[in-house]
Structures are given as structure tokens and as C-alpha cells.
A and B are shown apart, each in its own frame.
Chain A
Amino acid sequence: MTVSLRIFFIGGLTAYRALINWLSPWIFVPTLVVAPIFQILLFVYIGRNAGVQSDEFFVVGNAVQYASIPCLFSMTNAIAGERSQQTLMYILVTPAGRLPLFLGRALPVIANAMFVAAFSLFVSGALLHIDVPFSAWGPIALVIFVSTFSCTGLGLICAGIALRVRETAVLNNIIFGLLLIFTGANVDIDELPGWMQAISERVPLTHGIQAARQVANGAPLGDVRGLLATEAVIGVAYTIVGYLLLRFLERESRKRASVQIA
């Protein structure tokens, strides 16, 4: 138990520092501080031009949706980064439990994604004079936490796929683009065709974004507990699928001797 906790916390932090060392301020600021604010401004102005929704709708939706960038990229890098540093095979032959090994890497990712979402929400809200009550920030933080956890589950699936796919940057960008369409960050889910709505209901962030919008409008946390619970269940489901996929593809990679060359 102690070993598992050590692998989860210390191993997770060490792996994050080792694998995400490329995320220096020179990359962090342009991609995770400036870019989300301009994504929000872009959709706010498109919304104004199209005459749909309020500024707040786009600010909250895009701030939460942009958290998917660190969730997807950092989790995938937990595999792709090990491979590029030639250490993946050593990780996969260790007797360490896979659950703390992989989930430990998710914890710093969630913290990073929470910062990205909260910062872009705060700054773009200030720029566009969005009035979020002070009392709403606590519940918003909780909503962002659940949403980033849920999206990190999707990141874990991408990490599993990264055992078989070389072009992880392409994969993550495509998933980010799909989340942009399906999570309702910019388009009310009701405006989407039925089959798209069915997918929206089953992807991470959709319910988190809806909850964040309600909470930012002053709704108490109790009013969004159903949405939060759904988001959390989706997160747990994706995490389980991601973990099983990682184990399955780990075995397959050993069988095919493709750990390092996939």
C-alpha cells in the first residue's frame, strides 16, 4: 500500500517533471495562457456576428473546453515521452503496479489543466466584463476539477493508443477538435443533430461545461449535482477504459516486440 502510494504521488510527480520538461514558460505562456484567451475572444466575436448566445456562454464553454489541451497532451506524453527518451521499455518491465504508475501521472495533469481553465476564465471574463459572482468561484473550481478529471480519463485512453500510434500530436489535436464540436462549448447541444447529441452526452466536458455555466450564473452547487455526478461517472468510465486499454496494448506490444518502434 505504501509502495503504491509512493509510486502514485512521488512517481507521478517525478514522471511529470521528467516527461513534461518541454513545457517551459516559453511554451506554456503562448500555448496555455495566451491561446485559450484568443480562442475565447474568437468565439465570442463569432457569436456576436452570428447573433447567437451571450458572451458568457462562450467564455465559460471555451475556458473549460481548453483544459482538454493539457489533459490530452500531457497524458499521451506519459507514453510518447518515455518512448522518445528510450525509457518506455524499462517502465514496462518494472514490477510496479500499473494503476498507481499511470494514474499518478494524471494528478499533476489535472492540476495544470485546472489552472489553465481557471486562468482563462478569469482573464477573459475580466476582458469582456463578465460578471461572475465571487461566491461562484468555489463551486466553479469544483466543476473544473471534475471536468479535468473526466477529460484526463480520455487522456489515459489516448496514452493507451500512443502505445500503437506514432503521431500522438496529430491524434490529440484531432480529439481536441472533436471535443470543440461535441461538448457544446460553442453550440448549444440542442442545435446539434440527434446523433451528435447522443455522442455529446457521452463525452467528457459536456456536462461539466453545462454545470459551469449554471454555477457562473449564480446557481447553487446543489442545482448542478446531477450534471457533476454524470461528468464524474463519465470520467471514471473513461479512466477504466483507458487503464484496460493500456494494459491490453502493453501486452500486445510485448507480444509484437513493438514497444519502442510502434
Chain B
Amino acid sequence: MRRTLRLLSVSWLLHVKQLSRSSFDGLLAILWPIFFATVAFFMFRAGGDPDALVYASLGAAVMGIWTATSVSAGSALQRERWFGTLELLVAAPAHFSLVLLPLAFATSAIGIYCMATTLLWGRFAFGIDIAFEQPLLLALAIPATILSIGALGFLMGVSFARYRAAWSLGAMTEYPIWLICGFLVPLSLLPGWVHPISWALAPTWGMQAIRESATGGSPLPDVGMCFFLGGIYVAIGVLVTESVLRSARASASLSLT
């Protein structure tokens, strides 16, 4: 147990350091949501509702967590393949899920930078002042959101293992998740058939948890859903990892060369 925790924590820290120094995974992940946030702020400001700007600011902040996760976690295996380290990691005595999980959580943790910069951008460039009503609950909601989004990134990462251009699939999921998880658009505006998909996605609950804690609501049920769905993603991800690795070994196709 201690070894597992050590592996997870050391590996997570290593990946956070690596990603923080990458201009693509670090700098761009921070700037990218700011462009969209800026456009959204102008649009909501033109709409004339000051409450909508607060709504947009919180939504744009959480968008950044998904941005940081979608491409980086989705293409995690592809990146290791490029580095030439995938075979070594698969052959390591630790279960491959334990190797990949901290990487996925590290990508979503980078989202904290994005979240902070987007909120500051909204505050100083657009004068959007958010009075965080329940800071303690917010301090619970943010890690819950990050963990659940990281878990979704882990599931994506292993699911895209056999896809050579996994980064493009990760990038493809960026706008749909922004749209259907209620970051800038309430679910009630989306068609009814989209709602079950939104409910099955942890970012939806994470977004709600952060909004509820910021505006004085009750975020705990949403936090619970984040952990519940995150747990399901990890469980499915572990099973997919087993299946993918067995298949890759049997067909000698791990490197996809």
C-alpha cells in the first residue's frame, strides 16, 4: 500500500513538473481557455446581464481544467510511445494503471493554473468580481473536480491506446465537453437527449459543485457524484488497460510501428 501511494505521489509530482515546463501543455493550456473566456465575456457583457458574467467566469475557469486534460491525458500513451518509454513502463512490475493514473491526474492538476489565470483575467480585464460564499466547500469542490476530470482523462488515455493520432481525438473532445457539461451554457438550453450524456460526465457535476460553493448553494451532492463517477472511470480504465495490454502483447503492436 505504501509503495503504491509512493509510486502515485512521486510519479504525479514528476509529471506536474514536466508538464509545467512544457510550453504546449503548460503555457498554451493556460492561454487557450483565456481566448475563449474573452470571447464569452464580450458576448455575455453585450447581453447586459451582470450575473451572467459571473456565471461565465466560473464556467470559463473550469473549461481550463478540461483543456489541460483532454489532449495531454488523451495522448498520454502516444507521448510515451514517442519518447520510447512505453515498452519499459508496460514491462515495469507496477500495474500499468498505476503508472498512467498519476499522469492523468497531473494533467488535470495543471488546470489549477488555468482556473486561477482565467478568474484573474475576468477580474482585472472585465471587472468580474466573484464573492466566493463558501471557501471551505470550494476548497473541497475544486480537488473533487480535478480528480474526477483526471479520472476521465485516464479512461480516455487507455481507450485511445490503439489510435496512432490519439492527440487529435483528445482535441476533438474539447468543445463537446465544454458545450454539454454546462460550463457556459445551462443544460436546460440543450436538447433533452443530451442530458443523460451530460449527467454521465463528471465535469458536469464538478462544474455544478464549484458554482454551488461559489454562490452559497449546497455542493456536497455534486462533489459526491464527482467521486462516484471518477471511481467508475478508474475502474473501467483499469479493465480497459488489462484488455488493451493483453491484446497489444498478443499482436506485438504496442509500439504501433
Closest residue of chain B to A26 (Cβ to Cβ) is B165
With A187-B42, A192-B42 in contact, do A38 and B179 touch (Cβ < 8 Å)? yes
Q: How far is the CA of A177 from the CA of B29 in the complex (A)?
A: 12
Interface residues of B in 36-68 (CB under 8 A from A): 36, 38-40, 42-49, 52
The one of B38, B52, B176 in contact with A50, judged by C-beta atoms closer than 8 angstroms, is B52
Q: Which of A41-49, A146-154, A213-221, A228-236 contacts B (4 or more CB under 8 A)?
A: A41-49
Q: How far is the CA of A174 from the CA of B30 in the complex (A)?
A: 11
Give, as a whole number of angstroms, the nearest-CB distance from A174 to chain B.
Answer: 6
Give, as a whole number of angstroms, the nearest-CB distance from B75 to chain A.
Answer: 12
Q: How far is the CA of A26 from the CA of B170 in the complex (A)?
A: 12
Q: Is the CB of B32 within 8 A of A177?
A: yes
Q: Is the CB of A181 within 8 A of B179?
A: no
Query: Which B residues touch A35, using CB under 8 A?
Result: 171-172, 174-175
With A178-B35, A186-B39 in contact, do A38 and B176 touch (Cβ < 8 Å)? yes
B168 contacts A by Cβ under 8 Å:
yes
Q: How far is the CA of A34 from the CA of B179 in the complex (A)?
A: 14
Q: Is the CB of B184 within 8 A of A46?
A: yes
Q: Is the CB of B28 within 8 A of A174?
A: yes
Produce 1/0 per residue, B131-159, CB < 8 A to A. Answer: 00000000000000000000000000000
Q: Is the CB of A45 within 8 A of B42?
A: no
Q: Is the CB of B175 within 8 A of A41?
A: yes
Give, as a whole number of angstroms, the nearest-CB distance from B58 to chain A.
Answer: 14
Query: Which B residues touch A169, using CB under 8 A?
Result: 24, 28
Q: How far is the CA of A191 from the CA of B40 in the complex (A)?
A: 12
Q: Is the CB of A39 within 8 A of B190?
A: no
Closest residue of chain B to A24 (Cβ to Cβ) is B165
Q: Is the CB of B185 within 8 A of A30?
A: no
Q: Is the CB of A50 within 8 A of B46?
A: yes
Query: Which B residues touch A49, using CB under 8 A?
Result: 52, 184-186, 189
A51 contacts B by Cβ under 8 Å:
yes
B27 contacts A by Cβ under 8 Å:
yes
Q: Is the CB of B165 within 8 A of A27?
A: yes
Interface residues of A in 32-90 (CB under 8 A from B): 34-35, 38-39, 41-43, 45-52
Q: Which 7 A-B pairs have the closest CB atoms?
A: A177-B35, A38-B175, A30-B172, A50-B47, A30-B168, A45-B185, A187-B42
Q: Could you write out 10 A-B pairs with CB less than 8 Å apart? A: A26-B163, A43-B43, A45-B179, A46-B43, A49-B184, A51-B48, A167-B24, A173-B32, A187-B46, A188-B46
